Each structure stands twice: as C-alpha cells, then as structure tokens.
Chains A and B, each alone.
Chain A
Amino acid sequence: MTRVTRFEDRVMPHLDAAYNLARWLTRNDDDAQDVVQEAFVRAFRFFDSLRDANARPWVLAIVRNAAYSWMEKNRPAEIVPIDDAGLIDADQESIGHAAPAESNPEVILLQSANRKLVNQSLEELPVALREVLVMRELEDLSYKEIAEIADIPIGTVMSRLSRGRAMLRATIETRMRKAG
C-alpha cells in the first residue's frame, strides 16, 4: 500500500468534518476550501506522526491550525482573546439559574428558532467559543479530543462550551425579540 493510498484510507474519510470545522471558522465556502486543501497537504507531509492514533482529532487539529493561520493573515480582528479565568463563576451562576428544560419558556423559544437564526447567531459568536460548540455539538467530539485539538485544558473546554451556549441563547433571544 502506498503512502497516498494509506492516507486516503485513514484521513480522507474525515474530509466532511474538516470542511465543516473550516467553514464554521472562516464563515466562507471558498476560504474553507483553501484552508482544507492546505491542511490536507500538510497532513500528508506529517502523516508519519499520526502512527496508530485516531485520525479525526489529528487532522482536525491541523485544519484548525491552518484556519487560524488564514485568519491571522486575512481577518486578524476576528481572533479575540478569551478571558477564561473569569468565566467559571459566571457560567455556573447562569447554569444554576436555569429551570428544568421541559417547563422552561426559554427552551420553547429556542425550539422555535429557525435554522437561519441559529446559524447567524452561531456565526456571530467569538471564534474561541464558536469552535468548541461546533466540535462538541456538530462533530460530537469528546471534551478530551476538543482539548487536544484546541490545545486548551479540559476545564477550559467545558467553561467555553457553557459560556458559548449561554451567549448563543442570549443572541437568539435578542434577535427573536427584535423580529417579533
């Protein structure tokens, strides 16, 4: 089996996941395609470093790096540093106030939110929160995998997830109130 066919066997099945992540990071079809192509060529060069590890988080980490390089060059303003230190208290507070899901009007409100509203609101989130939400909810990656891909501690993954969810809910509600 040649290196190319081994790469096609192990890495190419994750092209959808790669594109989905790149698309949510760059928020643009063409840029996402460029990022993915560059990332996969890079992945092929460093294919030996994969060894027996799971190819999906491995290649997604490369895609994420390529996307961030692209953003640094083309849209530096979008890379907003996140203050993780002050997050946990605020998150726990907001979770603590949440009522049970079934009777929560907020959930009913969210359920009626259409795809467009969710997509737009998710795109507006700071990239550091957006990416953990995409990896967790759309790619179904574990906290540990997300921590490895984004190169942050697992605790930070969890706090960014809840902060991201809260912020997303707030954005959707604001938009719905404006619309309604």
Chain B
Amino acid sequence: MTLRTPTPEEPFIARDATYHKAPEALRVRVQSAVAREGRARVVHVGRRTLAWGLAFATVAAVSWNLGAMRGRDAAQDIVTHDVLSAHLRSVMTTGRLVDVPSTDRHEVKPWFAGRVDFAPAVPDLAARGFILVGGRLDVVDGRTVAAVTYRYRLHVVNVFERPAKDGDQPPQSMSRQGYNIVHWSRDGIERWAVSDLAAGELAAIAE
C-alpha cells in the first residue's frame, strides 16, 4: 500500500456540479443595499465629525458673538449664526437630518407645499456632485425656512431657503467655526449653503 499526499483531483465535480451564477436581480439588490449603506454612512460619519466640531464650536461661538455682534453687519451675523446652528442641529440629532428622505426633487419639492409660504427651488445638482438626500423644515432668524439636504462625497450640505427681502445678490463665501457658508439670492429666493466641505467645492453649489 503506497501512501500518497492528497490529492489526485478527479475532474468530475468541476465538470458536472452546477456553478450557481448570481441572478441579475441579486446584483441589483446588493448594489442598492450597498448604496443605501453608503448614504447612511455619510450621515453617520458627518455626525461624528461634527460632534467633535461642536465642542470647539461652543467655545468659539462665545468669542465670535462678543466680537462680531457689535459690528455694522450684526443683523446679518445673527442670521448666519442661526444658519450654522441649524446645520449643526441637523447633523447631530439622530434621525432628524431630513423629514422627507428622497433623492428625487419631484418628491422633495411638493413636500414643502403647505409647509412654507414659498416654493423652494430644490435644484437637481447631481451633475456637480451634490446628491439630494431630502428636505425638512428649520428655523432661521425666527421664521420657518426650507432646508434642503445634499451630500457631497462624505460631507453633508444643508441649503436653507427663504423668500428674499432684497433683490439678487451674488454668492458670498464666509467661514464660521471651521464651517463654510455660501450666501446668495436669486429669483426671489435667499439661500445659505452650509457644510464642512472645502470653500472652493462648496461654492460650486451657488453657480
């Protein structure tokens, strides 16, 4: 009896046993499940980053308020401060990033009807890398505004909209507590975009 190391491979299993290829339906299912997980992750990572950011922000806000509130643009600064606070609230409160989660602007835009007294634009900005996440209501400067949320890579971008008091204003970029804000008015709507995204990348949203 000769002992041999395994294994002389009889080919019949590879030849006769069925190789089960993944059905196309499964491919679609898995892709959308992963994409969903990717979106959830964007929000999660954003929240975690911002939770740390807020520790600094709270300290910074005090000194910033003391200094800036005395200036000529104090009123505008209060609004900007509100916008930033609303952004921070949205990314820190679990499950409250959006009230109407949808990547379809035709679902998000009608949701605002009857909730705010103007029609928010909710533009489709996917071509510029801003993927629509959904919409919700928020409060800025003592009144209800429309908040439209996008993601840009791993960053959450909130766009706050309200009817413009003055005419058109060109995009103006500013930085507060490490967050970037772009402010502009167009077609009767005043908007603020807020994110921890780099200023140059965020500016593209107002083009």
Chains A and B come from one and the same complex: yes
Of the candidates A16, A40, A45, A93, the one whose C-beta lies within 8 Å of that of B21 is A16
Give the contact-size bracket for chain A: 35 or more
Of the candidates A36, A45, A122, the one whose C-beta lies within 8 Å of that of B26 is A36
Per-residue contact bits, chain B 17-55, to A (CB 8 Å; 1 contact, 0 not)? 111111101110111011101100100000000000000
* A24 is an interface residue with CB less than 8 A from chain B: yes
**Chain A interface, >50% SS class:** helix
* A69 is an interface residue with CB less than 8 A from chain B: no
Q: Contacts A16-B21, A37-B33, A101-B8; is A133 near B2 (CB within 8 Å)?
A: no
Q: Are B35 and A4 in contact (CB under 8 A)?
A: yes
Of the candidates A33, A101, A118, the one whose C-beta lies within 8 Å of that of B16 is A118
**Chain B interface, >50% SS class:** loop
Q: Are B26 and A168 in contact (CB under 8 A)?
A: no
Question: A24 CA to B17 CA in the complex, in Å?
Answer: 10
Q: Report A-chain residues with C-beta under 8 Å of the C-beta of B27.
A: 12, 15
Stretch at the interface among A50-58, A71-79, A145-153, A159-167: A159-167
A32 to chain B, nearest CB (A): 7
A164 to chain B, nearest CB (A): 9
Given contacts A92-B4, A169-B10, 19 further A-B contacts (CB under 8 A): A2-B38, A2-B153, A4-B38, A8-B31, A8-B34, A15-B26, A19-B20, A19-B21, A19-B23, A20-B19, A20-B21, A20-B22, A37-B29, A91-B6, A110-B10, A122-B17, A138-B13, A158-B5, A158-B7
| Complex A-B: 23 CB contacts under 8 Å | A2-B38, A2-B153, A3-B38, A3-B41, A4-B34, A4-B35, A8-B31, A15-B26, A19-B20, A19-B26, A20-B22, A33-B26, A36-B26, A37-B30, A41-B34, A91-B6, A92-B4, A95-B8, A110-B12, A119-B16, A137-B9, A161-B7, A165-B10
Interface residues of A (CB under 8 A from B): 2-4, 7-8, 12, 15-16, 18-20, 23-24, 29, 32-33, 36-37, 40-41, 44-45, 91-93, 95-98, 101, 107, 110-111, 113-115, 117-119, 122, 133-134, 137-138, 140, 158-159, 161-162, 165, 168-169
